[in-house]
Every structure is written in C-alpha cells, then in structure tokens.
C-alpha cells in the first residue's frame, strides 16, 4: 500500500466489542472502560487496520490518507 493513514476512533460511538483489537492488535487497545483507542494516531497502511475498521459493528473507526485526508474507510459514496 505504501501510504500512511490517520486512525481515529469515535469513542462516542464505540461499544467496546474489542473486534478492532482482535483484528489489529498492533493498531488498537481497549482502555479500562472498554473504549477503543488507536495505538498511534498515524500508522502505515495495513490490511489489518482496514479489516478492523470494516469489522467494527458500529463503524466507530475512520481511516484517512495522511496529508490528503482522502477517505479509506468508510469509503466516500
């Protein structure tokens, strides 16, 4: 992929399912309140991050291309 992505979790939407941390353990952690947090606000583009975003049951994860802000997930319609 070669890009870097901005990784954002909307904690007002997150339900703490933990699916993101299971799909991308290097990308997400759950805090004591079971709210997801990205390990880093920017990361190398990775299939595991995309899988985590796509697998979030409430679509609380947003991925954008660093610099351009182009949507990776959810895709722009």
pLDDT tens across 18-57, in order? 999 999 999 999 999 999 999 999 999 999 999 999 999 9
Task: Note whether 58 and 66 are within 8 A (CB).
Answer: no
Which residue did the predictor score with more confidence, 77 or 31?
A: 31
Taking the chain, what is the end-to-end CA distance rounded to the nearest angstrom?
Answer: 21
Alpha-helical regions (H) of 1-77: 19-23, 47-55
How does pLDDT run across 6-19, given as a tens digit for each residue? 999 999 999 999 99
pLDDT at residue 36, rounded to an integer: 97
CB crowding 3-39: b at 16 or more within 10 Å, else e: eebbbebeeeebebbebbbebbeebbeeeeeeebbbe
The reported pTM is 0.92
């Amino acid at each position: 992929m070669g890009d870097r992505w901005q990784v954002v979790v909307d904690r007002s939407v997150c339900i703490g399912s933990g699916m993101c941390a299971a799909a991308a353990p290097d990308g997400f952690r759950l805090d004591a309140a079971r709210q997801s947090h990205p390990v880093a606000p920017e990361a190398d583009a990775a299939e595991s991050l995309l899988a985590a975003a796509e697998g979030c049951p409430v679509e609380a994860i947003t991925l954008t291309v660093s610099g351009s802000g182009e949507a990776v997930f959810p895709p722009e319609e």
